[in-house]
Structure 1
Amino acid sequence: MRFYGQQRLFELTTSELERYREKTRELDYCAERPEKRLLAEECREMVTELEQRKNRMLASAIRRRQREEIEHALDEAEIDAEEIIRELEGESA
């Protein structure tokens, strides 16, 4: 990830996800009580939401990385083209 804040957010999302998964397992174990079943369902929904957030963050980081690599390649190609133009101008002079 590019910025410290994004990395930290990703780490928090990951730790939050693990916490909700653990809580879901606990509540599923005690699911004979209706209120525990409801809490387990809410935890499962939160796990799903956090997994989606984590996946979006990863996809965004990948796209950003690819964009940076393409921009870098274009910059290098432009520098190469400028060098070739200078060489050709030097030969014709």
Structure 2
Amino acid sequence: YRVPSTSDTTYHCKVYKVPSRLSTKQHVIAHKALIDPANRDLVHHLLVYECDSATIFDDANLPDGLCDDIFPKLQLCTTNIASIWAVGGDEVCLFLN
């Protein structure tokens, strides 16, 4: 993704599908943002949302673009925050045991 040079702040949204091999309930116990050091000055925060199970996307054309432009397609994906990262954050382990 190339960050536009025409604005001070850009909010980019992209939908990823969970691999079909994960057919049973899964739990996230940790997360780590992998950001290229050359781009760290451009990234302020990341939010990962879980879409409502009623949401249907065309697998060949998943929403990807400026958040304001594709928001109507994402309305069922903005309720459940699954993970958050911000500048200064590191690997997060939610359950130590």
TM-score tier by shorter-chain length is under 0.3
Structure with bigger RCO (C-alpha 8 Å, 6+ apart): 2
- Normalised by the length of structure 1, the TM-score is 0.22
- Computing the radius of gyration from Cα coordinates, the structure with the larger value is 1
Higher helix share: 1
Higher strand share: 2
